[in-house]
Copies of this chain bind each other. A is one copy, B any other.
Amino acid sequence: MESEELRNVGLKVTTPRLKILGLLENAKAKHITAETIYRQLGESGEAIGLATVYRALAQFEAAGLITRHQFEGGQTVFELERGPHHDHIVCVRCGRVEEFYDKVIEDRQREIAENFGFTLKDHALTLYGECNDENCLGRTG
């Protein structure tokens, strides 16, 4: 249950936080902007302030419940942290986002960081390309 998740990370269980977490879990798009969350909550009758959405997202991120991504050109999107780590491949035409995990790359990253004398804390890898999906092609004609 979502209340558990909040309690576990030391956050008070409040209606806005529950709604936001719930939306994140049921969202059709896995990667979603703060604006979209705000708008969708509004549409479903929950009057939650935009500031609250941003605040909650920041706290969820700090608590490791969600991850923040800044794909090039677009707004910041948030994604529920479920399952193992992964990176993204984004279609530059239609915005479709797919996820992948590649052990070879992960391992190399660690080695590279070591070679530079860095302790690896995090990384951001995003591939940009054109997906040859029919719906995608349709959009650009």
Contact = CB atoms under 8 A, between A and B. Distances in A.
A87 to B, nearest CB: 9
A89 interface: yes
B98 A102 contact: no
The listed residue with most B CB atoms (<10 A of its CB), out of A118, A124, A125, is A118
Copies of this polypeptide in the complex = 2
Contact of A128 (B121, B127, B131): B121
B109 A108 contact: no
Given A72-B70, A116-B98, A116-B100, A121 B108 contact: no
Interface of A: 70, 72, 89, 91-92, 98, 100, 102, 104-105, 108-109, 112-113, 116-133
